[in-house]
Amino acid sequence: MFLMDYAHRRRVKIFGHMCIIDATDDPVLAKKLTVPDYPARVERLVLIAVEAFDWNCPQHITPRFAQAELERWRTQPK
């Protein structure tokens, strides 16, 4: 799995084993993964046993934001 942060030109690769579980097979875990006040129902659970990860260099990550957009993002109150 690749997780991208285009604004900061960072990427992490995650290596592992995934299993998909029907929410009715583990209702306790499904309840833990439910977001309060979100109007959706958890149907499946995806569990990933991470074996390794690797941060990649930013050399080949194409910038997706203009410099002005990044400056607005950095100066917004958090």
pLDDT by position in tens, the chain (length 78)? 999 888 788 889 999 999 999 999 999 999 999 999 999 889 999 999 999 999 987 777 777 777 787 777 777 776
pLDDT value of residue 78: 62
Q: Where are the beta strands (DSSP E) in the chain?
A: 2-5, 10-22, 44-56
pLDDT at 57: 79
8 Å CB contact between 6 and 64:
yes
Residue 54's beta-bridge partner residues?
13
Residue 49 three-state SS: strand
